[in-house]
Structure formats: structure tokens, C-alpha cells
Chains A and B, each alone.
Chain A
């Protein structure tokens, strides 16, 4: 390969199906030798949450918001057919039956392939989470300028 290919993905959505789509493309690109950066913002940040943990300094509204916006990589809803959690449960069962990789497995593969995870600091603030409340796999806490700096030199850029 003459030049290194780069891919940048913004994961804005916090649903399992959309996260799976993002990680399918990220891991495939990683295996094709792309340097991949994933930027997690708004609902997408749920994918990186440890769950149950909040930033040290949070106010009442942030606590309320975090209570309503529960969900981690292991317990995300579906964008369609959610049915209060019955949809995701069925989908997980189907995926296990069909030997498809689950979201946590895809995330592990992504890390093994060198995919970089970046968390949006602004979203972290609103959601009441800090570095400690996010999984260890997060590489950096960044803002829009850092993402755009990467995206500028990227061959493929997605917003999911």
C-alpha cells in the first residue's frame, strides 16, 4: 500500500443496531489496514459507559438525566421493534443462534485491530460522566476540532 487509508466515524446514536453497523464497518476497515477513529457523542456515548457510574461533580439535573438515559454496550435498545426491551433480547438470541458477533465482542475486535475510541467531552458533561465513568478502552477525551482534524485527512467519514 502506497498511502495509509483512514476512516473516521461519528457514532451519535445509542441503539444496538446502529452501533453494530458502526462497529462492523470499523472492524472491517481496521482489518483492511485503515487507521480508524471512532468519535462517540450524545447517545453514542452510552456505548462507552461502564454503567451506574457518574462524574464526581454532578448536579440534580445531570443525575436525573443519567437515570433516564440508562444503557451500556450490554443493554442498548433497538431503533425499531424495541418493545420495551423484548426486541433487543430477541435480536441477541438470534445473533447467538446465528453465531454473529455481539456488540461487546465487536468492540473487543475493534480494539485488537487498533481502532481508536474518542469520547466527546461536551456530551460527557451533559450526561454527567467523566473518564472514570467510561470503559478503559477509551483512548482520548476530545472535542469537535480534534475530530475534524482527523476527518479532514480521512478517506471515509460516516455519521451514524
Chain B
């Protein structure tokens, strides 16, 4: 995956479903449309949950990065609405 430069990062390591999703919702409210949020998590459910959340909310799922330390990074671009 090509390099994505996030505008903001949200640390959800050690948190379980549905808290990362809820924190993402709250964090995204602080961002401007078009800005990118990086979410770091270690609950692998996020790999399916975040794309599903994006599809429903209209935000753009940009992709994920799996680190060797078990930390998963997912990237979301805030939609215009």
C-alpha cells in the first residue's frame, strides 16, 4: 500500500469492539472533510468493522497496514457531508 499521511491518529490499542468504532465516530467529528484519520488497534475485528462502518456512514475506507507487533493501522478519509 502506498504511503498515506494521516492528519490525525487515534490510539485504540487494547480496546475491544465496539469502542474503537465509537471513538472513531467521535474523533471524526473534530476533523474537517477530506482529512485522514489513522486508527491503531489490536482487535482484528476492526479489519471488517471499519470498512462496514465506512460503507454505512459514507466515509472512505482507504486501507489497512498490519504491523509485525500485532498492531493494525486503518485509514479513513472523512466524507464531505
Contacts and interface: CB of A to CB of B under 8 A. Distances in A.
Contacts of A1: 56-58, 81
Interface of A is mostly: loop
Interface residues of B, number: 16
A31 B58 contact: no
B18 A31 contact: yes
Contacts, number: 40
Nearest to B19: A101
A27 B22 contact: yes
Contacts of A98: 14, 16
Size range of the chain A interface in the assembly: 10 to 19
B21 A28 contact: yes
Interface string A33-62: 100000000000000000000000000000
A112 to B, nearest CB: 8
B18 A27 contact: yes
